Structures are given as structure tokens and as C-alpha cells.
Structure 1
Amino acid sequence: MKVFSSMKCHALLLAMMLCFGSVLAQEPTEQLIPFDPSVRMGTLENGLTYYIKQNTKPENRVELRLVVNAGSILEDDDQQGLAHFTEHMAFNGSKHFGKNDLVSYLQSVGVKFGAHLNAYTSFDETVYILPIPSDDEEILESGLTILEDWAGNLNFAQEEIDKERGVVIEEWRLGQGAQTRMLQEYLPVIFKGSKYAERLPIGKKEILETFDRKTIVRYYEDWYRPDLMAVVAVGDIDVDKMEERIKTHFSGLRNPDKQRQREEFDLPKNKEPLIAIASDPEATNILFNIMYKSEAQEFKTLEQFRKSYVQALFLEMMNQRLSDLLQSANPPYLYAGTYIGSPVSRKTTAFSGYSVTKPDDIKSGIVTLLEEIRRVELHGFNASELHTAKLNTLEAYESAYKERDKSKSESLADELIRHFLEHEPVPGITFEYEFLKENIEGITIEEINSIIGNWIKAENRVLYITAPELEGLTLPTKEEILAWVAEIEQKQMDPLAEVAVDTDLVKELPEGGKVTKVSTYDRIEVKVLELSNGATVYLKPTDYKNDEILFSAYRSGGISVASDEDYWSASFASSIISLSGVGDYSYTQLQKALAGKSLGVSPYLSDLESGFSGNASPKDLETMLQLVFLYFTQVRTDEEAFQSLMQRNKAVLANVLSNPNYYFQDRMARIMSQGHLRGGGVPSVEDLEKVDRDAAIAFFKTQFTQPGDFTYWFVGNYDEGTLIPLIERYLGGGTASVEKMSWVDRGIRPPTGMVSEAIYKGSEPKSSVVMTFSEQKKYKRKDSYYIKAFSEVLDIKLIEILREEKGGVYGVGASGQGHLRPYEHYSTQIQFPCAPENVDTLVRAALDVVRDIQQNGVSEEDLNKIKETQRRDMELNWKENGFWLGAMKSYVKNDLDLSKINELNERIEELSAKDIQTAAKKYVDTEEYIRIVLYPETTE
């Protein structure tokens, strides 16, 4: 379980809050945190570290990793970008694999480039990701050979270097934009005096274009050495045999005679605050950040273990306070949060706060965040907040403990990577959970409050703002920001009042209904219940997860039945309802009432249907169904929640189209729907003005009138004797509506004939290309599968031609499928970013690939690649609750025979090259398609 983490981005905040525990030893101890006994860790004579763990989730798979403790921070001045370039060259020729043989071989055994096979380079490390089948000795051996080649046997052929320059420069081009331009403005300020400010992993374009072979080989020979490497193997394997394989493949690697020191870099201290303000015309929001830097501490002892848990509880309570403020009618910011972790250097950590502010009230967004930090600094937290945080923490650990034999190998491998790179403890979830249970009651509010002063100090502060450049928008100056900080530091704040919440969601239990008929699909172990109110319920028991039940409900209709006048109200109805709470509880009160429970359920409204999506631990199944019952019977009107939602959405949308990517997506949606009101695109502030709260709630009630109108699905580790009475009570009441509702075809169609649209937005020299082939023909389920298979072959060939042969793109993708609703048609789409001057050449190349398949068919090699990938994917799918839920819903909604769901494997074996070629000819017209291209404004 991920307990310690180097927090490098806001997106990891939630994961950290869920996974950090809250443990307080009764007495401080120097006892070391134990290492997970289920992991075999060793070191070869040459210094290479290895980790091996047997894990059967998923079966017949192993996650292999090569971890190199070296990244862009170690590049010499003439090597900027070459740590990342080296990663690319790992897929372009080595001792045992020719230039493109590696990717081709892995595709032949069901490993997909990008989706499975991958790698990344950061400031301090490079990690290669190789998930492969483990039920074939030859594949296993080849997997270790690949890692061995990456570690010490890359070719760096000059021809391949020159070809790959184009791919890497396209990746560089893809990253250009407002965020990168602002990063280049504020990074030298906030990382002042640090090498991190000068070593972004993507590097410098001029170096990527001109470096010679010996320069990149020098980087490889200096830093790809066994004493800086680890091999990780987690999966369905024999540990002893894997250890022998690792020794065989990696013992021969040698460290260089003259080793360069692997220096650890730091962020310099600063007595006075560092402040940066960066703006850009294409930025979409105003983001304020404050960091309080401090020296990073290793976690080795149980005393440090306890401190980290206390710290995590502090963060959870801090973020809950900031979240609660969002529910006011005029929220002070759009989003806000805090986190603790390294901003970049492993030697430095920081307590950081951020807020996305409203353009018309920047000061409130900044000051409110700082005031809440100050309030906690003065008064700490209260007992009810700690009680809630403890319940949530204990629940997170209990759930992880219950799933200890169902944890995915990928997440376990990531944990071992962090142990090697960041010295994160790996005691194992059994130890963590038992330690938590024994000590959680010993946590006091005083101890949590006492650590706040460790983080919030006057020295080593960094503050920065990123913002758009808008007419009439005035950003605060550095002096104004410092004045606000100084004023708040002297301000006396009132403590937060304690709030008690009743946890009984349903005050009077409903009578419900009864099961009137039971039928079964024995072949797939599915039971079907018919209820007295007309509802149908599908039950699929599984043991794929120990602590998970997935839930879904569906009825036809959705937003399509709303009038044009009510369209925008209907579109926001489910969000309005969800953020208003339910029954007697506001949204904030509901979160507190659900503390310590593992569940989630939300109503949804899509274009053609309405329903629920949910999940629960078996112990919290009744609570989930109580919420569903309340959404049917006691939806809530909350004007403050409504105003909060609208105010925040308006602020977000006001400037979103200044971003070229959002602008392109918006224009493309409008072109594809021929400007239809319901055709998609980014809503405008004017659209949001049309949202009426009462109309939205009224429409929601028309869609969620009676439980008997819906079809329900439950998949997971439930007890049938417990579940069925709950279904009868909470889903069985009332009667079905007299008239069955159905979706409405609103006539949204793409343009016909050959359509070519050029869209001009942005200043960077980059384009995005989308080619859509649409055919309005009768839907056939087999043909839908064939056109999907065609897109998978197309994906392989486009990578070979556009990326590997021409070096014109970093990424390219193809997708295809048939559609039954709202009208029968087939669509295939090709997408790629590239240089503006290469658009026409690459479009022609893509069309040539399509025509070649249409005219000459698919090779046996490519057919076998996609079939093997599909086989391997299905091996995993059959053991996933989510797959069964989605597949059953699809079969039932399309009136298919549910008993034949297992025949999905048969269609793979029956798939032929002729099927794919025929579908390509029938459903893809290369003379009449829709071509939409984004160009920079300078080319208009």
C-alpha cells in the first residue's frame, strides 16, 4: 500500500490522503520499520538491486521494471534532453533486437506499445515498464533479455538516432503551449540557484536537432550502470526461478572503471520569500501556490512512521475545511487544497497550498487559503474533525487489507520502485493495518496540532501565480501579495465550531416490494430477479475482489427527452442534485455522515439514458442502497449549492477557449454536429445562464420517478441472502410508470461528402489532425467488431509509417466502432499532432495506409498481433468486475442473448484478414471523409 510518496503534483493529493495512515505509537521507539517478508530483495555483486514478489492479480502476468536512478538532472550542458532521448533509443535497436524488432515481437505476444509497453524520464530517474505474459517460459526469458539490453546493450545506430530526432522533437512540440511558457518564466524564480531550473527532461530543441552520437553514448555509459539500477518483477511467477534469471541476465553488467559521482541535488534555502508571477494569453485560469520548504526526512523508524501518519491526518482535515468552503453560494475560489511532498528534489519537501481563483476576485481566492492556514496555525483542529478523519483513514486501510491478496501487480511494483528511488518503507499492508488498529486510539488532537508549526515558517517560502492575459484583468503585484501575507500573519482568527451530524440516513424504513420471479443463466452464473414493481435485477457473484460490489442502474430516455428550452437545465440536473445532498443532509453533512464507510453512488443523465453508478464494500451495501432510495424519494433543493456550482462553472468557462486545444475540440464538435444545439462543444457562460434550478430538479424527477422503471445490476463479492432483502426493501417499492420512456433521436448527424476544415488558434508551431470516416449503414454486431479490429491493425501500421519510418509524429491513434443508437452508423477516426508544414504529407501517408489495407488486405503477422492482444486482454477481462458489469449492460440494452457472453472469445478465433479487409472497404471511404486540422494563428 502506498503510504509514503514523493508528491510531485496536485493530482496525487487524493491518493495520498487515502493511503497515508494515522498511527501513533504509545511510546517513541527507534525500532526500524520492517521490510515486507513477501518481497525478495537482493543485490548482485555489481551493485544492481532486485525485488521479486509473487502475486496472482492478474493471473499469468508479470510486471517487469528496469529502474535507473538517473534522469535529466545528471545531463551535462551539451546533453540537455538526452536522458529522455536515451529512453527513446531503448526501443530502436539493441544487442538482441533490431531497430523495430522489439516492439514487433512484443505486439506478437499481446503487449501493446504505449498502452502496456512504456517508459518515462524525469529529473532524477528513468523507468522502463514491461508487463508480459508469465505462462510461457520463452516469453519470460525474452522479457528479461529486453531488460538486460536496456540496461547495457543499446546500439545507438546513427541512422536510428537521426530518425528518432523527428519523433522526440514532435514530443517536444506537443508540450509547447501556455503551461510550458509560464513554467519557463517561474521555474528560474521558485527554483532559484538550483540545477532543476535548467534541466527540464524534454531538453533543448537545438541540442535534440544537432547532438552527435558520442554525446548520447557518453550519457548512457556514465549513468546506465548496475550500481544505479534496480530490476523489479511482480506477478504470477516462481520467485526462485525469477531470481536465477535475474542473476543470469544482469550479473555480467559492469560498472565503468572511472565512475562519475551520482550527486543528489537540492533546492537552496531562501530567507526572504521568492515570488513569481507568470501570465500567458492562452492560459485558462488563475492559479496561486504557496510552498513552505523544509529538509526531507527519511522514514526508517516506527517513531517516524507515526509522525508521517499524524501529518497525513493533518492534511486530510485541512483539505476538508477548504472543500467545505466551496459549498457557499459565492465560493471564495474555484478549487483549493494542500499537500506535503517534494516539489522536485528528493532532498527537499514542502507543505504547499494552492487555490484556483475567480478572475473577478483574485484576492479572495488567495487570502481565504492563507486565512485558513492561519486559522489552523492558531487553533488547530477540533475533536469532531479528528474523529471523521480517523474513521476515513481506518476504512481506507481496512479495505486495502481485505484486498491484500487481490492487489494488482502494477501498484505493488510501483511501491518497490519508490523504495529503491526514494527509500519509501515497504512493510506490507498486513503490518500497516495491524499497527494502525493497535495505535489509532492513541492519537490526540494536541499532537496533530503540534506539528503545524513544523511546516509553516517565515523562511524558505515560495509563492507564485500563473494567469491568463485578459482585457481588464489586473493581477496583484509582488508587493501586494507580500502585504496580504503579512496582514494575515498578524490576524486573529476564530476557531472553527464543532458540527455534529446524525448518521441515520433513512429515518423510516420503506416497506419495499417482493421478488416475484427468479431465472438464471447457469453458464455464466447470473441470476435475474423480477420485482413486484416491475424492476429487473441482474446478479453476478464474483470473488475477483474481496471488498467490492459494483452497482449500476439504467433506463432509456436521458437528456434527449428534454425540450430545447430545458436542454441546459437538464444537462446540469444530475450535478445540481449530487451537490445539493439528499434527504435531510447537505452535501457537506452527507460526507461527514458517511465517514468511515466505503461506498459511492451518483445519479447520472446522459444523452440517451438515465441511471445510477455506484460501488460499495459488502458491509456498506445497505447504506449505498439507502442513498439510491433517497434519490428517488427525497431529492433536495439547495440554493447555495446551486449558486456555487454555477458560479464556479461560469468562472472556469469564461476563458477556457483561449486554450487552443479546448478551442479545437469545441469547433470540431460543432462541425461534426453541423452546429446542433445538442451536438457537444464547450458550454458558454450564456449557455449556463439558461440553467434554471427548478427546471433542472423537475426534469430529474421525471427521469427518476419510480424504482420500478429501472434495470439494475450488481457484480461482486456479495452475500445473496443479505443482498436480496435489501433490494426488495430499497428498490422494490412503488410501481413502474404506466408509459415506458424512450430516448429521442434529435437528428444530430455529421456533414456528408468530403469536408475539410482548417481552424486557426494558438501561437506555437504545432498542428492537430483529426480524420473521421463515417458511414450511415445498418448496424451489424459482427461488423462493429470487424471495424474495431481494422482500427487496431491501422493503429499498428500508422505507428510504423508515421512515427517510425517518417519520424513525423510522437503519437498517432486510430479507433473504430459501429453505433446502434441514436442512428445506425459506423465511424473510424485517425488522430495525430504534428508540425504544421507536415500536415498534408502525413494525411496522405495515413490515407495510403488505409488504402493499402483495403486493396491488399492484412498480413498474417499483423492479424496475429491484434488477435493475441485481444486474447490476452480477454484473459484479464474475465476476472474484472467492471468488465462483467459493462458487458452485461451492453447485452441487455441491445437485446442480445446474455447466455452467449462467453462467446466473445470465439469471435477472436474466427476473425480473419478477409473480415477486416471487407469492413475497411465497406465502412471507410477515403474520398469522402471529414478532415479537421488545427493550425497556429501565424499560418492563417
Structure 2
Amino acid sequence: MKVKRFFALSLLTGFCSAQAQVIPFDATVRTGKLANGFTYYIRHNEEPKNRVVFYLANKLGSVLETDDQRGLAHFIEHMNFNGTTHFPKNELVNYLQKSGVRFGADINAYTGFDETVYQLPLPSDNPEILKNGIEILHDWAHGATLDENEINKERGVILEEKRLGKGASDRMRSKFFPVILNNSRYASRLPIGTEEVLNNFKPETIRRFYNDWYRPDLQALIVVGDVNVDQMERTIKSKFADLKNPVKEKPRPDYTIPLTGANKFIALTDTEMPTTSAEILFKQPQLPLHTIKQYRESVARALFNQMLGERFSELQRQPNPPFLRASAGIGPFMANLDVLNLSITARPGNLQEGVKAAWREAERVKRFGFNGTELERAKKGYLTQFEAAFKEKDKTNSESYVKEYLQYFLYGTASPGISYEYELVKKDIANITINDINTLGQLFSITTNRDIIITAPEKEKANLPDEATFVGWMKAAATENIFPFKDEVNTQDILKAEPVAGKIVSRGSNSKLGITTWTLSNGIKVVLKPTVFKNDEILFSGFAPGGSSLYTYADYQSATAANMIPSFGAGNYNTTQLSKYLSGKQLAIQVSIGERTQNIYGQANNANLENALKLMYAYITEPRKDSAQFHGILERSKASLINRSNDPASVFRDTISAVLGNHNVRRTGPSLEKLNQVNLDRAYTIFQERFKNNGGFTIVFTGSIDTLAVKPLVEKYIASLPAKGKAEEAKDLNIDIPSGWIERKVYKGSEPKATVNLVFSGPFTYSFQNKLKLDALKETLEIRLLERLREDEGGVYSPSVRISTVKYPKQRYNLVVSFGCAPQNVDKLISSVLDEADKIKSSGPTQINLDKFKAEDQRTLETAIKTNGFWQNYILGQLQNQEDMDEINQYSQQLISINTNDVKETAMKYLNGNNFIKLILLPGKDQGN
């Protein structure tokens, strides 16, 4: 659930006496409207420090397009990056990259049916960058040059973006959208547009849309960050006052999806669809969020959804689950509508069974409602989320605020601040009754505006029901002898046996980084990094050597399946009981077995840290074996594989994994044969074996740690973990990416689309500086590929370069270039990639691109280093790789020292072409498989 950031507690006084009272807007936000209608919202916030986030929101989108403009709202979004008044051609992106802002990751935009939004995060400690940022936002508001040459270059980019979305889901959506959207304007205005328009529109057509709708009375600038609010307001008033509305201004129509009262049914099949699914949609008028009464209704809906979700989760844990997945809930749909949605993904050949099982649960809710214990548990969980948000109100990230104010501007969604909302939730929670919730369950009884959509593999076509048959299944399930739901609650302690506490036997510290290390009596090392980045957040993770690498091929499938064991519960609690026990507690725990390590991951607030560590202890020392759940998971897994080969993306992923893993059985894709090798008893034994000797563990704690309070918890729940004998070391399985030149083509799919992965790999000299140089190579190559493959050649939407290095079991690297494109362009674009790699090898990157990398990396680090997640991952990585913990203190110096020759030498060494793999997904040779 998205927790809204509300404030202004003083405005809450007397709200109970007027349920229709409009919820006030956040009083800490400076807001105003210029004479031309341009709106602004400004808030000072120092999370993160020296940063500011700008959003330019426009109440315009694809729904406003005429027939000859379909796709042009989105096209203009692209053009705002391809030439504006003060930043010709691609200079805008170029300038921002030099300022440390990453294209795609930081600077971005999106176009929806009803809105177009541009986002620009900037450093606020550089007046020149801030000034130019305002200039960019002004240009985005109405300064696009829409040059004909740039328009024609961008056509290819957008057509490639459209190509990426092609496939079974897109083909079926094009058929059912007009049905469920009642042939409204939304059905024919997907933001990506039509190929006919994108290929053939004239420049005057896009300019007409731009001049009609990019205007100040439909725009707002949202500014949140470490800025002077008064100064920013003066700047906005001065800078944006010159924007003008059209002389003959078109009224902005409010399009809707009509509720006709009719029920709709549509069943669709496709050769590439891997599963059979059914959705039952009960459409209804949207619940706006403007008043206190509406807010109370939204809280009731959230509680209803939470309880309904738990019901379906329990059903899915049956020994022979009636479906692969099922869910239900009420929420936003599109435009002016909400929807109660019941969704079923059926086991192959068992749609009837799945639909009946899901509808039976809906009928149980209708007939008997929920229990009081379910409601209290849901209330506790919901309130806990707001308590956590309230505690962090002075540590809330600027991005969260911006998104709140965006919804307020676009749709009027209430946004008064977390203090206000927290008080509102507490009062609403106390007053919401079981009858309020059970009334929502009666929505399943609606007999109008109900849509049923079935999507299935082509081979299931003859077996799909018609509307009468499907509705008959629902009626049959509703007339069965259904019993009230029994809420299984456990009140015992989680642990069957209390731990015998150990001791801290030695201490060490790193004063530069503020890190303390404890060695415990059982050999486990605990590393603590107290921070002030969050008021009430503790992260902890641990690792020990071993993992599934210690098991033979005969045991490998069971060793992998050993990760199911924690899903069966722990100690005195089975899975269902444990889920209910954890409701309302701010904690999460995961215990797992990787290929080379056993792992622990957890997070909690301070109040629940003991509960988190107790649960960790239970998972390790008191795991449970549940044959019913085991067989249920296994049967669902088997069923999900039956039609897996229909999906081109799955087939290609499996091929990539197999080729890069040298066809080792541990790297090939899932299969029925592999699943049949899994044995519950062996999996359970392997799990116990991996956690019977924990002396090799290192566990890192980061966050709002009180070391005095943590000490007894560490001694009780970590120093007490069993540790017998010497810790085992992981084995080198010798599964390396194969050497030499390899090309593998997969022919699958009916759409004219291709996917390309180019892999460079080999031995790597592992060091902090070499990793940084490889990062520089990755980034400078990606910048060039974006410029050439996208901007110059218009052949791709978004090429990417990924880099990975490992120190153990061998020092190795791999660099992967990937992109999607038209099949006929594959060879040409691969040649372009290799040409750019050769240029870096022969001449190094341009200085400007290296400077972009340095600026982006430095700015990213400045923000990341002030988060718990960064330090948790950094400390773990340094410990696992046995690297110097103080390397982070040298980062900026090492970054500055990298020059173009360093990158050139790195490219010559690691892009030498000795080990090069081409993996290409192409359409099926018969275009229909």
C-alpha cells in the first residue's frame, strides 16, 4: 500500500463533526497560481541534502489526441529531449549528464491517457545547475522546437519502443480493451499510438497538438528539496509568467468510460500465451479522495483487500491447490471507474476447477463475511504502516512528497501531511466495524457492469467455456454447502525451546567508518554500523560459506528446493499461523541457501528487533517439514511449466542461462524432470545441514542501532546458534562462461521483433581500482551506444550495458550489451556496437563522456552514502570479498584519477574479442511457430 504523506495536525480539530469536510492541503507546502493559470507547489526538504526534485505536470495525454494524432502526446514527450529553445538537438541530455544527472535513471518522463509528467532531480548546491534546470523546465512547458529533421529521426526510436511491447499480451489487449472500456475514447488512445500515425504524420499535426494543449492553465511545477522556498517562489513567478495560453483556447474535455449496465464476456487465445487466466471485473464509479468521509471509505477498502488477500493465500497453500494463483480486491481501474477484480490463473486444463474455487471464496465472504479477529489483525497491520511513516516524517525522501502533490494537482487526491493522516487513520480504524467491511463483500453480488475476460493458449481454444457455461460455474459454486471461515490463530511462543545465551568474547572497531565488530562465543562475527539516516530502521544480513556447491548433481534439485523449508513456518507456527502472528509487526526475515553461501536477511524497527531475531533463530534451529505444502508448491510449479515453451521471452532466458553456464545442469532452465528429482526429506536434511554449523557466519547490522539494547539480543539469539566443528568452504563448480566465439539464435515468436545480447567475458584482475575502471568503460560505452544506436541510427529504444565482476571462486568479469530491434537490423546494429567498442580500444572514450561518468558516479555516491541500504551492501561486499573496509574513503580520489587512457587499456584487455558470445532471439521461421 502506498502511504500518503500528510501533515497539518492543527487542522484536524473538529473533523469528526463533518464527514463531508474537505481534507485540507498540506500547510507546509507553498502553493500558488500565476495569472496565466500556471500552478506551483514548493516544499523545503533535506532528504537528501543538497538535492531538489522537480516535476512538471501537464493535464494532457493521449486521450486528447484526434484520430490523426494517435501517439503524438507521447511523441512530444520524446521531442522535449530532442531540441528546445535553449538546448538545441540533444544538448539538454548532454548538459544534464555533464552535471551528474543520468538519462533514464534520473531525468525521465512518462505519458499516460490523461497526463504527461517530466521529472528532473538536480543538485541544489550548484547555483548554475539550478538556474539551468529552471530553464529546462521552462522549455519543457512550451519551448520544444519540434524540428522536422529531429522528428523524423525520432520516429524510429518510438517505433522501436512500440516494438518492445509487442507480443501475446498486446495482441489480446487490443481485442478486449474496446470490450471492457465500452468502446470509450480510452479504448482507442493507447499512449504508444499507431504505426500508421507514427510513420506518416506531418510536422504540422504534432505542432497542432502541442499548441493546443501545452499551455500554462494545464500545467504545474512541483519542487521539493533542499532549496530556499521564498527564493524559489520568486524565480517561478518571474520565469513562468511569460507562458501564454492559446488565443482561441480549446476547452479541456473530461472523457469518461460510460457504465452501460451491460455485462461483457470475451475469450481469447494466442499461440504464445503460457497460461489460462480468467478475470471477473465489477466496474463501478470511482471513489474520489477529497473528503473525510471518502477517506474513511478508502481505509475500509484497504482493510477489506488485506483480509481478502489473506483468505486467498490460505487457499493457495492447500496440498492440491485448485489454481496456480488467485487474488481479489477493489481499487482504481481507469478514468472515472474503480473495479472489484477477481483474478484466477488456472492449472492447465482446470479452468472450471479454478474458477469455482475462487468464486466459492467470494461467496463465503458474501454469505458469512469476515471474523472479528481478521478485522483486528488487519487494523493492526494497517495502523502500523502509518505509525512507521509518522516516525520517519522528518526523514521522508523528497520523491515521496513530489508524487503526493502530483496526484493532488492531477486528480485532487487529498494530501494534507502524515501528521494529519495518522490522526485520521487512528480515528477511522477505531470506528470501522465488521459490518462496514462485510458490506463491501456484497459487491460480489452485483449483476450489472460485470466483465469476464478469459485468455489462454491457442491449444485450449476448443475447451474454453462460453458465457453461459462460465456463469453456470459461478452459480454452481455459489449454491454449494459452504461453511464459515475458521480463523486459525496460534497464541504460543514461536520457539519450542528457549535459547541458551552465549557471550561476546572480543571487540574491534573502525573509528573512521564508525563500525564495531563483535566476535561471539560460538565463532560468529557481528558487525554494527549505527547511522542516523532513518529514525527507526535496522537492516541486518549474514552469510557463511558453503551453499549448494557442496552437493552433487544427484542432490542439486533437492538442495535448491531446500529454500522452500522456511515457507513451511518455524518453531510452533505453521505458515498460516506465522503470517497472522507477523501481521502488524515491522519486521521481515529470510533465510536461504545460495550456491556458495548460506544467507540471512532481515529488517525491523527497534521495537520488533527481538521478534525478528527470534524468528531468525526459529528458522535456523526449529525448521518445519510440511508435506502438504511441499506437494502443493511442487504441483503448481509443474503446472506452470506445461506451456512455458509458448513464451518466447522464457525460452530465450533459458537459452541465455544454458549457454552462459556452459550447459551445466545447474544453469539450464526448469523442467518436469528436474522437479521430479526433488525429495522433501532430502531437502529438509540439506537445510538442516547447512545451518547446523553457524560458526562461519558474519552478520552485519546497519541503521538506528542502540548498541546497549542490541547486545543482549545478539547474545541470546545469535551467540546461541549451533556451531559444530570447522566451517566448510564453498566448492568451485567450474561453471564459467565458455571461451571463444559463440553464436546462438533462437527462433520463437510471431512478432517482427528481435532481442540481442552480446557477452564479453573472461578472467579479471580483481581490485577496487580495476572495478572502477571497468565501470567507467561500461558507462562511456553505454553513452556512445545511446547516442549512436538510438539518436543517430534510430534503431533501438534503450540499449543497455551491464557489468559484473566476481572475486570468488575465480576472478572473472562479464560485460553484456543488450537491446531490442527489428529483425532486419540485427546485423547492422551489432556491427555498430562492435565498432564503438573498437573505437574505445583504439582511442579511448571522449573526455566529455568520461567526465559525464565521473559526474554521474560522484553525484550518485553523494546521495547513496547517506542511506542504510548502501552501507549494508558495501560492508557485506567488502567482507565477502575480503577487501579493505576503508576503500570507500578513497573512492572520490580514485574516481578523479581515471583518465581516458585507463579506460582505453581496460577496453583493450576486456573487450579483446577472445571470448565473445552473440545470443539473438528472432521471430519463428514460419512466423507462427
TM-score bracket relative to the smaller structure: over 0.9
- Residues 534, 735 of structure 1: 8 Å contact kept: no
Match of 1:45 among 35, 44, 61: 35
Deviation at 1:814, TM superposition (A): 1.0
Asked whether the equivalents of residues 775 and 825 of structure 1 are also in contact (C-alpha less than 8 Å), the reply is yes
Per the normalisation by structure 1, the TM-score is 0.95
Identify the match of residue 834 of structure 2 among 841, 847, 851. Answer: 847
Q: CA deviation at 1:84?
A: 0.9
CA distance, structure 1, for counterparts of residue 250 and residue 351 of structure 2: 48
Does 2:222 align with 1:208? no
- Mapped partners of 1:444, 1:695: distance in 2: 48
1:790 corresponds to 2:780: no
Which residue of 602, 625, 643 maps to 1:637? 625
Instruction: Please give the alpha-carbon distance, in whole angstroms, between the structure 2 residues aligned to 1:453 and 1:481.
Output: 20
Contact 1:654 1:684 (C-alpha < 8 Å) held by counterparts: no
Superposed CA offset, 1:533-580 (max 9, x none): 111110000111112100101011111111100111111211x11210
The residue aligned with 2:796 is: 809
The alpha-carbon deviation at position 4 of structure 1 amounts to: 7.4
Q: State the match for 2:228 in structure 1.
A: 238
1:748 partnered with 2:735: yes
| 1:594 and 2:570 matched | no
Alpha-carbon displacement from aligned partner over 1:778-829 (angstroms, at most 9, x marks no partner): 4344222211210110010000000000000001011224321222222211
Q: Provide the secondary structure at the position in 2 that maps to 1:757.
A: strand
Q: Does 1:580 align with 2:568?
A: yes
Could you tell me which residue of structure 1 aligns to residue 357 of structure 2?
A: 368
2:675 aligned partner: 688
Which residue in the other structure is 2:166 paired with?
A: 176
Conserved? CA contact 1:355–1:369, under 8 Å: yes
The answer on 1:609 being equivalent to 2:597 is yes
Question: What does the per-residue CA deviation read over 1:878-903, in whole Å, with 9 as the maximum and x for residues that have no partner?
Answer: 11111111111111112222234322
Q: Does 1:829 align with 2:819?
A: no
Q: What amino acid is the match of 1:206?
A: E
Residues 279-299 of structure 1 show CA distances to partners (whole Å, capped at 9, x for unaligned) of 111112222111111112322
Matched residues in 2 for 1:473 and 1:588: separation?
A: 38
In structure 2, do the counterparts of structure 1 residues 503 and 197 end up closer, same or farther at CA, with 3 Å as the change threshold?
farther
Q: Does 1:485 align with 2:435?
A: no
Aligned positions of 1:446-595 closer than 5 A: 446-453=435-442, 456-470=445-459, 474-488=463-477, 493-502=482-491, 504-574=493-563, 576-595=564-583
- Whether 2:78 is the aligned partner of 1:63: answer no
Query: What displacement does 1:112 show?
Result: 0.7
One-letter amino acid of the structure 1 residue matched with residue 606 of structure 2:
P
Deviation at 1:508, TM superposition (A): 4.2
Match of residue 635, structure 2, among 641, 647, 670: 647
Counterpart of 2:614 in structure 1 is 626
CA contact (8 A) 2:280 2:450 kept: yes
Using the alignment, how far apart are the partners of 1:451 and 1:668 within structure 2? 47
Q: Distance in 2 between matches of 1:200 and 1:520?
A: 58
- How far off is 1:383 after superposition? 0.5
Aligned equivalents of 1:429 and 1:780: distance in 2?
46
Q: Do the aligned partners of 1:51 and 1:416 also contact (CA within 8 Å) in 2?
A: yes
Q: In structure 2, the residue corresponding to 1:232 is in which secondary structure? A: strand
Q: Distance in 2 between matches of 1:43 and 1:327?
A: 54
Structure 2: distance between partners of 1:341 and 1:436: 18
Identity of aligned residues (%): 39
Contact kept in structure 1, 2:693 and 2:722, CA below 8 Å:
yes
| Aligned ranges 1:8-27 → 2 under 5 Å | none
> CA-to-partner distance for each residue in 1:43-95, whole Å, 9 max, x for gaps?
11111221111111111111111111111111100011111111111110010
2:646 to 641, 648, 658: 658
Which of 901, 904, 916 pairs up with 1:917?
904
**8 Å Cα contact 1:71-1:121 kept in structure 2:** yes
Task: Give distance in 2, aligned partners of 1:780 and 1:657.
Answer: 41
**Aligned pair 1:669/2:669, yes or no?**
no
**Aligned partner (choices 708, 724, 730) of residue 737 of structure 1:** 724
How many Å separate the matches in 1 of 2:887 and 2:151? 50
Larger displacement relative to structure 2 (643-652 or 860-869): 643-652
CA distance in 2 between counterparts of 1:937 and 1:250 reads: 53
Amino acid at match of 1:773: F
Structure 1 SS opposite 2:905:
helix
Flag the 1:273–1:828 CA change in 2: closer, same or farther, 3 A.
same
Cα distance in 2 for residues equivalent to 1:73 and 1:734? 60
Q: Give the superposition deviation at 1:339.
A: 2.8
Contact 1:553 1:613 in 2 (8 A): yes
Write the letter of the residue equivalent to 1:344: M
Match of residue 16 from structure 1: none
For structure 1, which segment, 87-96 or 310-319, has the greater mean C-alpha deviation from structure 2 after superposition? Answer: 310-319
Secondary structure of 1:334's partner? strand
Evaluate the alpha carbon distance shift between residue 132 and residue 4 of structure 1 in structure 2; reply closer, same or farther with a 3 A threshold: closer
In structure 1, how many angstroms separate the alpha carbons of the residues matched to 2:911 and 2:601?
A: 35
Equivalent residue letter for 1:600: A
Task: Determine helix, strand or coil for the equivalent of 2:802.
Answer: strand
Partner of 2:9: none
**What is the aligned residue count?**
920
Deviation at 1:443, TM superposition (A): 2.2
Q: Which runs of 5+ in 2 are unaligned?
A: 6-13
Structure 1 equivalent of residue 286 of structure 2: 296
Structure 2 vs 1, CA of residues 872 and 4 (structure 1 numbering), >3 Å: closer, same or farther? Answer: closer
Instruction: Say if 1:190 and 1:276, in contact at 8 Å, map to a contact too.
Output: no
Q: 1:319-362 CA distances to partner (integer Å, 9 max, x unpaired)?
A: 111111111111122222223233221x1112212121111311
What SS class does the counterpart of residue 259 from structure 1 fall into? coil
Kept in 2: contact 1:294–1:455 (CA 8 A): no
CA distance in 1, matches of 2:922, 2:240: 48
Q: Aligned residue for 1:388?
A: 377
Deviates further, 777-786 or 291-300: 777-786
Taking a change above 3 Å as real, the CA distance of residues 832 and 724 of structure 1, as seen in their structure-2 partners, is same
Give the direction of change, closer, same or farther, for the CA distance of 1:708–1:825 in structure 2 (3 Å limit): closer
Alignment gaps of 5+ in structure 1? 6-23
Q: Give the match's secondary structure for 1:470.
A: helix
* Alpha-carbon separation, structure 1, partners of 2:738 and 2:853: 32
Q: Spell out the pairing of 1:701-720 with structure 2 (5 A cutoff).
A: 701-720=688-707
Does the CA-based 8 Å contact 1:553-1:710 persist in structure 2? yes
Q: Is the 8 A contact 2:759 2:917 kept in 1?
A: yes
Residue 581 of structure 1: how far off its partner (Å): 0.6
Quote the Cα distance in structure 2 between the aligned partners of 1:45 and 1:150: 19
Q: Deviations over 1:669-727 (max 9, x none)?
A: 11122211112x43112211111111111111111113433111100102111111100
Q: Is the CA contact 2:107–2:121 (under 8 Å) kept in the aligned structure 1?
A: yes
Q: Separation in 2 of the partners of 1:106 and 1:503? A: 58
Name the amino acid aligned to 1:523.
K
> d(CA) in 1 for partners of 2:926 and 2:773?
39
2:391 alignment partner, one of 390, 402, 412:
402
Paired with 1:842 and 1:927, the residues of 2 have a C-alpha distance of: 20
Q: Distance in 1 between matches of 2:496 and 2:229?
A: 54
In 1, Cα distance between the equivalents of 2:721 and 2:223?
54
Secondary structure at the aligned position of 2:46 is classed as coil
Distance 1:80 1:900 in 2: 53
1:9 paired residue number: none
Q: Corresponding residue for 1:18?
A: none
- SS, match of residue 154 in structure 1: coil
User: Which residue of structure 1 aligns with residue 416 of structure 2?
Assistant: 427
Determine the C-alpha separation between the residues in 2 that align with 1:908 and 1:874. Answer: 11
What is the TM-score with the length of structure 2 in the denominator? 0.96
Q: Which residue among 313, 317, 325 is the counterpart of 2:303?
A: 313
Aligned-partner SS, 2:320? coil
Indicate conservation of the 8 Å contact 1:788/1:817, yes or no.
no
Instruction: Please give the per-residue CA displacement for 1:102-151, whole angstroms capped at 9, x wherever unaligned.
Output: 11000001111111111111111111111111111111111111111111
Farther-moved stretch of structure 1 (214-223 vs 737-746):
737-746
Q: 210-219 vs 643-652, which deviates more?
A: 643-652
